[in-house]
Structure 1
Amino acid sequence: MPVSRTHASVRASARARAVSVWRPAEDEVADHEAGTRERVLKIVTADGPISAAELAAELDLTTAAIRRHLAVLEGNGQITVHEAQGGMPARRGRPARRYVVTNQGQAAQPHAYSGIATEALRFLAEVVGPDAVEEFAERRVRELEDRHGAAVEAAGDDPVARVRALADALADDGYAATARPVPGTAAIQLCQGHCPVQQVAQEFPQLCEAEAQAFSRMLGVHVQRLATLAGGGHVCTTNIPTMTNPAPAEGR
C-alpha cells in the first residue's frame, strides 16, 4: 500500500508539472490569436469591403484560419457582411462574402477624446454660437494642411499621385486611408476606414465638411463627399476627379 500511494503521488506530481508547462503555451496561443484578430479588424477597417481570401493573402494565413477570426469578429458585432449596392455588375457563380467594419468595431479602436471633445464643442456653440464651431473645424483642418501639404505638393501635378500621397499621409495619422481608382471613370476615391473624431462628428458634421474643403484645397480640384463614418457609412469616401473639365468658352 505505501508503494501504491507513492506511485499515485508521483503520477499526480507529473500531471501538475505538465499543466504548469502547457498552460503558458496555451496563454501564448490565445494572445497570438487575439493579436491576429486585431490585425484582421484593422485591415477590414482600412480596406473593406474585403473578402476572406484577400485577408488570407494579406496576412499570409490560410483562408480557413481567416474565416475563424472573421466568425469571432462578426459574432462580436465588430464586422458585418457588406451588402452590394445597386448598379454593381453581376458576377458569375456565388459571390464572395466581403466584410466591412461596424460602428461597434470602430468603437473598439482608440477614440481618445471623443466624449470630452463633444462636450467642449457643445459649450462653445452655446456660449459663443454655431459660427465658433465652424471656425474651430476650419482651424483644425488648416493644421492638417500644414502637416501634409508639402507631401502632396511633392507628388507633382499628377492628380492620382497627389491623392495617393494624401492617403499615405492620412494613414500615418491613423485614419486607415487608402486611394482607390474607380474603374471606368476619371476619378479616384479617397477612403478613410477610421476617424478619431467620428463620434464627435455625428453631432458636429462641420468637422467632416471642413475636412472635405481642406482636401479640395490641397488637391486643387473640387471633391465630393459620398459617405462618412459619422453619417453611418462603413468608410469615409471622397470622390476626386482625375481629369478637369475645360473652362467654358466666353459668352456661353
Structure 2
Amino acid sequence: MNRPIELSTREQIVHMLKTKAPLTAKDITNELQITEMAVRRHLSTLERDGYIESFTVRQTMGRPTAVYRLSELASGFFPKTYHTLTLDLLGELEQESGEEMINHLFELRKSKLEKKYTTNMTGLPLAEKVVLLTKLQNENGYMAECEESEDGNFVIKEHNCPISHIANQYKHACHCELELFKSLLQVDVNRTECLSTGGSKCSYVISQSKG
C-alpha cells in the first residue's frame, strides 16, 4: 500500500504557491490550519533565500495586501525531464543520420562557446584565464573551483555536470569540453577524472606551458 509523502510546512507552502499562486499569508494560513505567525516566519525565510517573491495588491476596501509567488530559483524544487526529451531526440537523430551527426552537433556547440568566451580571455595571463573559465563554468551549473598546484600547474575541478545524462551516453560531449578548454587557455590541458566514467568529479590539469 502506498503511503502519501509527508511534506514539511515549508514544502507545503512551496507546493501551494506552485499550484495556486498568487496567495496571501491568510490564504496559506487557512489552507494549512496553522498560525499566521508561523506562516509568515516560513514566508520570510523563503523570501530571504530567494525562493519566493512578494508584491502588493490594492484592495477595493481596506489596506493593500501582500501576495506571494515563487521565484525562478524555486523551479529547482520540481522535477524536470528535459534530459529524457533531449536523449530521445538525439536517439532519433542518430538513427536517421548516424553518430557523426551527433558529434557534429557537439562540435557546433563547442565552436559557439569558443567564440562567445574568447573575446574576454584574449590577452589575459593564464592564471586569470583559469579563474574566468571557472567562473563561466560555475554560471553554467558545473559547481567548479580552481587552484594552483605545488608544481605550478592549475587544476579545475567540476563537482557537477548539467549534461551528465547526455555525456553518459555520448562521450563526444566530454571530448568537446576538453578541446574547448585547450582552445580558450592555449596551453596543454589533461582530464584526470571524469563524472561520466564513474569519477567523483571532472578534474582538469592545466599546464603553465603550451603542450
- When normalised by structure 2's length, the TM-score is 0.62
5+ residue gaps in structure 2?
A: 1-33, 52-75
* C-alpha contact (below 8 Å) 2:188/2:209 kept by paired residues: no
Matched, 1:203 2:169: yes
* Partner in structure 1 of residue 156 of structure 2: 190
Paired residue for 1:166, among 133, 142, 151? 133
For the structure 1 residues 111 and 242, does the alpha-carbon distance in structure 2 shift closer, same or farther, using more than 3 Å as the test? farther
Shift of 1:145: 0.8
Give, in whole Å, the separation in 1 of the partners of 2:97 and 2:132.
37
CA offset digits 1:19-67 (Å, max 9, x no partner): 624432563487589x59x9xxxxxxxxxxxxxxxxxxxxxxxxxxxxx
Query: Which aligned pairs between 1:45-60 and structure 2 lie closer than 5 A?
Result: none
1:165 maps to amino acid: L
Higher strand share: 2
Task: Give the root-mean-square deviation of aligned CA atoms.
Answer: 3.0
Matched, 1:126 2:95: yes
Shift of 1:124: 2.0
Query: Which aligned pairs between 1:223-242 and structure 2 lie closer than 5 A?
Result: 223-242=189-208
Query: Which aligned pairs between 1:61-80 and structure 2 lie closer than 5 A?
Result: none
Aligned structure 1 segments of 4 or more residues deviating by more than 6 angstroms: 107-112
For the structure 1 residues 161 and 30, does the alpha-carbon distance in structure 2 shift closer, same or farther, using more than 3 Å as the test? closer
CA offset digits 1:78-123 (Å, max 9, x no partner): xxxxxxxxxxxxxxxxxxxxxxxxxxxxx98986621111112222
Paired residue for 1:152, among 103, 108, 121? 121
For the structure 1 residues 21 and 127, does the alpha-carbon distance in structure 2 shift closer, same or farther, using more than 3 Å as the test? closer
SS of 2:181's equivalent in the other structure is: helix
Matched, 1:179 2:194: no
For the structure 1 residues 108 and 186, does the alpha-carbon distance in structure 2 shift closer, same or farther, using more than 3 Å as the test? farther
SS of 2:196's equivalent in the other structure is: coil
Q: Which has the larger radius of gyration?
A: 1
SS of 2:161's equivalent in the other structure is: coil
* C-alpha contact (below 8 Å) 1:152/1:163 kept by paired residues: no
Give, in whole Å, the separation in 1 of the partners of 2:155 and 2:77.
26
Among the aligned pairs, what percent are the same residue?
Answer: 19
* C-alpha contact (below 8 Å) 1:188/1:239 kept by paired residues: yes
5+ residue gaps in structure 1?
A: 1-18, 39-106, 246-252
* Partner in structure 2 of residue 137 of structure 1: 106
Give, in whole Å, the separation in 1 of the partners of 2:80 and 2:151.
35
Query: What number of residue pairs does the alignment pair up?
Result: 154
Query: Which aligned pairs between 1:29-44 and structure 2 lie closer than 5 A?
Result: 31=46
Give, in whole Å, the separation in 1 of the partners of 2:98 and 2:133.
32
Shift of 1:233: 2.3
- When normalised by structure 1's length, the TM-score is 0.53
